[in-house]
A and B are shown apart, each in its own frame.
Chain A
């Protein structure tokens, strides 16, 4: 990672640099947006006062976090400094994030049974040992138990099976 001995370059390879950078960006966003709300005075604070203050504090903390990347021991007592884990699981991450989306889509348009099935099915595909058969069985079992528990027992008001429901 170290392309040169320049301290900035070295810093760029550290996780804390990005951690601090993210906080600075978030803080900037919060503070800038906060200034569009009325700040008021200390005595009569407006809605923008506290968030703007928090944003500024976050910027300062972000700078401090990035700066700790400089000190050799940093925070990483032996922690890995890479941004990605050793073996990135893009496919599994994608499946896990898609699973709620599938729940929203199928749940909204087709009801709880398709929503549940799609949610579990897609999530389970993320595992690297997953097989079609095992995934289908798992999704079916969870659907049966889930619908029984939430629809019949807990009465969650979501149609079990529908076609482009009232939504």
Chain B
């Protein structure tokens, strides 16, 4: 078991070290890091905007590059939150609590240096989990029939929408809306058109890219334009030398880092609990077991490394269900899965055996990419710091251009550009009404497969809806769904929010910036 995994990993390194794959991984990390540093650009927006660049590539290179973009952007977000107190991406909200005070004390460099290290440790652990757990999960998943797949998707969707952020019931509504949007276009089984209103451009369904860029690009720009306070760059003079932690600081960071990693990986095992929850839980745990909890919030190293390690380990852990079951846990994963679908690759348990180069190449490239990240950030930190000062009034018009051309490039069709504007307006209305649009993407990506499996399950069971509770594995998933809904109602009635929920979310950044950019779902049905 371990032997095969290591052989496969060796093969993966072979794939990842192919020169062009290595170059694309490097470009991904570099560009992702660069864009991620910009205030207001989280991993979602960064991946969406950069997705069109990968259309012409081979699937392996494309996914390696997007993987690099993802963790590059994630680390870039940490720089933004530590130096500017601006969490562009919710998981970093906690990092601000202690990271920014450290910056004020002139120890921002140390915080950044330790963050690089903590992310590496967290990510490495997550990757190791991925290597050993994914094949196990695949083995189990290959036994699943349509009914099981359906219930599992239901569980994933419910968890993704209720545990994430904001009101659970609004999250579920967004997921349902996403599922519906996924059904627009030609029906796979009967070939009849649905909700196209006579527009032939909609026959292939709504473009994933248009949806992602509309919701996380345009809607986000509308939300932040003229609302962004001028950035305070008073503390951002960080040079290479400042980044080196002293021995004492390293020692202080060592155990919190590992505790954060463990918490993160545990959180990633629960479907739907993404990096945001992982980082909040890690911070809370660290505070609880600390000998001097009152010092948290004043610039404690533990308060920086623990949530960062936790975030990175949980993100890597989130790849496990995404790659081995084809069920993404959050919007970032849904976007990456959509990118694979654009490349014509069908996600699901068969992915690892059918495309070992993608899976193992990705695993190996995570490691290579994370090392690149460390190597890049040390000399380039000065440049990143300068980029923090780019004002929003230059940023959003340029980003809008990338949105337009990216959507156009997906199909060479101007109709899609109009689509993105309409979706953007709709997304902004949703934002103003207190909805978080991320679950829409989740529902949208899973929608067509959910419908397909649902129909198949019904056909096999001869129209008996009870099949979902009669088959034992499926019944377990349905039971978990019921438990999830039940506990939400219970907490609601008791008036206490589930303790997993980031309590002070409002204090920290309105919503996840947007980066779901371009995924063509139209590619999916074809396969």
Q: What residues make up the interface of A, taking CB atoms closer than 8 Å to B?
A: 15-16, 18-19, 22-23, 26, 30, 33, 37-38, 41-48, 50-51, 54-55, 57-58, 61-62, 64-65, 68, 73, 75-79, 83-85, 87, 89, 92-93, 96-97, 99-101, 103-104, 107-108, 115-116, 119-121, 123-124, 126-130, 138-139, 142, 146, 150, 154-158, 167
Contacts and interface: CB of A to CB of B under 8 A. Distances in A.
B490 to A, nearest CB: 15
Interface string B207-226: 00000000000100110011
B183 A89 contact: no
Q: Which A-B residue pairs are the 10 nearest by beta carbons?
A: A43-B463, A42-B463, A123-B397, A127-B393, A47-B187, A19-B433, A124-B397, A100-B421, A103-B404, A61-B173
Given A18-B433, A103-B404, A116-B401, 10 more contacts: A19-B433, A22-B429, A51-B183, A96-B400, A103-B408, A107-B414, A124-B397, A126-B226, A138-B398, A142-B397
A69 B189 CA distance: 41
Contacts of A51: 180, 183, 194-195
Given A19-B433, A42-B458, A51-B195, A123 B414 contact: no
A37 B192 CA distance: 9
B158 to A, nearest CB: 12
6 contacts: A47-B187, A65-B169, A65-B173, A77-B506, A96-B221, A97-B218
Contacts of A123: 221, 396-397, 400-401
Contacts of B433: 15, 18-19, 22, 83
Interface string B225-260: 111000000000000000000000000000000000
Contacts of B392: 127
B129 interface: no
B497 to A, nearest CB: 8
A119 B172 contact: no
B435 interface: yes
B421 A101 contact: yes
Contacts of A16: 434
Nearest to A142: B398
Interface of B: 53, 56, 166-167, 169-170, 172-173, 176-177, 179-180, 183, 187, 189-190, 192, 194-195, 218, 221-222, 225-227, 392-394, 396-398, 400-405, 408-409, 412, 414, 417-418, 420-421, 424-425, 428-429, 432-435, 451, 454-455, 458-459, 462-465, 495, 506
Given A43-B459, A47-B187, A75 B434 contact: yes
A64 B169 CA distance: 8
Nearest to B223: A85
Contacts, number: 191
B56 to A, nearest CB: 7
Given A103-B404, A123-B400, A54 B179 contact: yes
A105 to B, nearest CB: 9
A76 B435 CA distance: 12
A107 B408 contact: yes
A77 to B, nearest CB: 7
Contact of B194 (A37, A68, A103): A37
A102 to B, nearest CB: 9
A160 B395 CA distance: 24
Q: Name the residue among A18, A84, A100, A130 with the largest chain B CB count within 10 angstroms.
A: A100
Contacts of A33: 195
A154 to B, nearest CB: 7
A78 B226 contact: no
B463 A50 contact: no
Given A30-B180, A45-B455, A156 B400 contact: no
Contacts of B195: 30, 33, 51
